[in-house]
């Protein structure tokens, strides 16, 4: 009986997994794009703009994700801004991630010697070209380890979207639990395993990417 | 009209006056060497010429164009002024070849293949054709600096500014870099800040002795080394010559 229910429920878990992956993909896309823009802005834009970005980062890093979800999904409609649950979740995940990612990219930018910018200027590059051709490629390479970390955090935090009614993996698990409370341990162990495998695979892939795009001479060697 | 004209440059960092009215001119294909004690503003002067540092007062003219005028497109001008840094400042994520070709590709907008052919010629000129596909971290200091010189040369500049190009190098690597610089003498104008007295004596058309933010004395090497007018110049040349192994410094 219980096993039957479990097998019947597997397709719904798969649907949930797809939504989880969707949230992760769009969340990280938004977070990365915005994070790069914010970090570049904080390092190279004018004072007032850099300051605004700083405030944005501080605020978004200071709010729990669930609170952010509730603000976007339940709060904003009060002032006439409506998002469906999925969009609200992507926004919440992406905006928060952008604040953390901005930190990662800014750290990377700061670790590039200032002389590189001077060298770029000396060749006749303007600021935009110097950022694009000299700073950006190095920044992205240096950011891969930090970005990998942020990616796995975001992947796992998609489960919080269950709180605003997104039918992702966690919510599907909850449905199964309601149908057959005896399955609760098995189902959530299964969900835990799915998350674990996703994170494990992602880390493997990202480690490969990190190695592939490493700047020669900047790899970490094994020492005794 | 001189190719490069530096007129009465002043530069201060906070309360510290680094340059206190420096003027000189350079002709096409001329080699000038700036010498002087540390902290005299030699490097600052070079940076004021290509506007990496903005002078507080004074003008710089290149080919009849005032660089210091805020309306001048400084990026266009910088294409014509090569800069070789003390600590190389190669782009760490690019191979030696791409370090040399990137200016051609992204600034002069030359098609990639042509740019890399040209870059290869410059690398050959500095004796590094075999290292073309290596990254900066895989090169020795002397090789890095020669890539830096090739990078500047590829842009076909009117003048190359060298900011202590051998100061960060091990003694046995200095020779290679100086040889490359010697081979450029008379082909492109060079303004070189250095302590290498051998280079100054043998290659420079004129030596500029700077101290305390001003030019103390300038003249052809022969005159400066054997017959400097001021006691201070003779003293400095004598001391630096002894330090850097010049056997006869005159004075």
pLDDT digits (tens, 9 = 90+) for B125-177: 999 999 999 999 999 999 999 999 999 999 999 999 999 999 999 888 899 99
CB contact under 8 A, B83 and A115: no
- At B249, is the pLDDT very low, low, confident or very high (cuts 50, 70, 90)? very low
Q: In the prediction, which pLDDT does A1 show?
A: 58
- At A3, is the pLDDT very low, low, confident or very high (cuts 50, 70, 90)? confident
Tell me the backbone φ, ψ of residue A91, rounded to 5 degrees: -60, -50
Residues of A with CB under 8 A from a CB of B: 113, 115-116, 118-126, 129, 133-134, 137-138, 141, 215-218
CB contact under 8 A, B52 and A122: yes
Q: What CATH number should be reported for the domain holding residue A179?
A: 1.10.3720.10
- At B241, is the pLDDT very low, low, confident or very high (cuts 50, 70, 90)? confident
Residues 6+ apart with CB under 8 A from B247: none
Residue B140 at interface with chain A, using a CB cutoff of 8 Å:
no
Q: Which residues of B touch A116 (CB under 8 A)?
A: 89, 91-92
A218 inside domain? no
A51 inside domain? yes
Q: In the prediction, which pLDDT does A215 show?
A: 81
Does A36 score more than 50 pLDDT? yes
CB contact under 8 A, B90 and A119: yes
CA-to-CA distance for A82 and A79, rounded, in angstroms? Answer: 9
Q: Contact B169/B141 with Cβ under 8 angstroms?
A: yes
A224 inside domain? no
For an interface test with B, give the residue of A124, A139, A213 to mutate (most B CBs within 10 A).
Answer: A124
Does B250 score more than 80 pLDDT? no
Q: Which residues of A touch B134 (CB under 8 A)?
A: 216
Q: Which residues of B touch A129 (CB under 8 A)?
A: 106-107
> Structurally, how many domains does chain A consist of?
1
- At A6, is the pLDDT very low, low, confident or very high (cuts 50, 70, 90)? confident
Gyration radius (Cα) of chain B, Å: 18
Does A80 score more than 80 pLDDT? yes
pLDDT digits (tens, 9 = 90+) for B132-146: 999 999 999 999 999
A109 inside domain? yes
Q: Which contacts of A140-145 are long-range, i.e. CB under 8 A and separated by 24 or more positions?
A: A140/A108, A140/A213, A141/A213, A141/A214, A141/A215, A141/A218, A141/B93, A142/A108, A142/A111, A142/A112, A143/A104, A143/A105, A143/A107, A143/A108, A144/A206, A144/A209, A144/A210, A144/A213, A145/A210
A217 inside domain? no
CA-to-CA distance for B105 and B99, rounded, in angstroms? Answer: 10
- Note down the domain range covering A121: 2-212
pLDDT digits (tens, 9 = 90+) for B201-231: 999 999 999 999 999 999 999 999 988 999 9
Q: Contact B83/B46 with Cβ under 8 angstroms?
A: yes
Candidate from A125, A133, A216 with C-beta closest to B75: A125
A71 inside domain? yes
Residue B106 at interface with chain A, using a CB cutoff of 8 Å:
yes
A140 inside domain? yes
pLDDT digits (tens, 9 = 90+) for A182-218: 889 999 999 999 999 999 999 999 999 998 888 877 6
A107 inside domain? yes
CB contact under 8 A, B89 and A113: yes
A&B contacts, CB < 8 Å: 75
Q: Contact B10/B55 with Cβ under 8 angstroms?
A: yes
Residue B244 at interface with chain A, using a CB cutoff of 8 Å:
no
B104: nearest CA partner in chain A: A123
pTM: 0.86
Candidate from B81, B87, B138 with C-beta closest to A216: B138
């Amino acid at each position: 009986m219980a096993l039957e229910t479990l097998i019947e429920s597997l397709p719904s878990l798969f649907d949930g997994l797809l939504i989880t992956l969707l949230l992760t993909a769009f969340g990280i896309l938004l977070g990365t794009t915005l994070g790069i823009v914010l970090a570049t802005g904080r390092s190279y834009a004018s004072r007032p703009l850099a300051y605004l970005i700083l405030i944005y980062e501080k605020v978004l890093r200071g709010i729990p994700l669930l609170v952010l979800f509730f603000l976007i999904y339940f709060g904003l409609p009060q002032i006439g801004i409506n998002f469906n649950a999925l969009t609200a979740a992507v926004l919440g995940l992406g905006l928060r991630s952008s604040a953390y990612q901005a930190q990662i990219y800014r750290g990377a930018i700061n670790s590039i010697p200032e002389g590189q910018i001077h060298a770029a200027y000396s060749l006749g590059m303007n600021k935009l070209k110097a950022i694009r051709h000299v700073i950006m490629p190095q920044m992205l390479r240096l950011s891969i380890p930090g970005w990998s970390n942020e990616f796995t955090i975001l992947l796992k935090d998609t489960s919080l979207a269950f709180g605003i009614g997104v039918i992702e993996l966690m919510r599907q698990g909850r449905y199964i639990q309601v149908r057959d409370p005896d399955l609760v341990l098995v189902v959530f162990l299964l969900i835990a395993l799915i998350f674990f495998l996703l994170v494990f695979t992602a880390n493997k892939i990202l480690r490969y990417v990190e190695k592939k795009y490493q700047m020669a001479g900047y790899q970490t060697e094994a020492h005794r | 009209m001189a190719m490069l004209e530096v007129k009465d440059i002043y530069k201060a960092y906070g309360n510290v006056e680094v340059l206190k009215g420096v003027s000189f001119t350079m002709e096409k294909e001329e080699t000038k060497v700036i010498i002087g004690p540390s902290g005299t503003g030699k490097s600052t002067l070079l940076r004021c010429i290509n506007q990496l540092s903005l002078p507080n007062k004074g003008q710089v003219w290149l080919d009849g164009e005032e660089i210091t005028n805020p309306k001048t497109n400084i990026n266009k001008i910088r294409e014509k002024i090569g800069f070789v840094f003390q600590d190389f400042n190669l782009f760490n994520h690019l191979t030696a070849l791409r370090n040399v070709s990137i200016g051609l590709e992204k600034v002069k907008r030359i098609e990639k293949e042509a740019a890399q052919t040209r870059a290869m010629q410059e690398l050959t000129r500095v004796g590094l054709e075999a290292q073309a596909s290596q990254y900066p971290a895989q090169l020795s200091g002397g090789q890095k600096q020669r890539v830096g010189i090739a990078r500047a040369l590829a842009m076909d500049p009117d003048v190359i500014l060298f900011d202590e190009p051998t100061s960060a190098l091990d003694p046995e690597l200095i020779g290679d870099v100086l040889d490359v610089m010697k081979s450029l003498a008379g082909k492109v104008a060079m303004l070189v800040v250095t302590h290498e007295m051998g280079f100054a004596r043998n290659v420079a058309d004129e030596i500029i002795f700077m101290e305390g933010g001003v030019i103390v004395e300038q003249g052809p090497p022969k005159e400066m080394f054997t017959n400097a007018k001021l006691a201070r110049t003779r003293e400095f040349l004598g001391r630096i010559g002894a330090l850097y192994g010049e056997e006869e410094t005159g004075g």
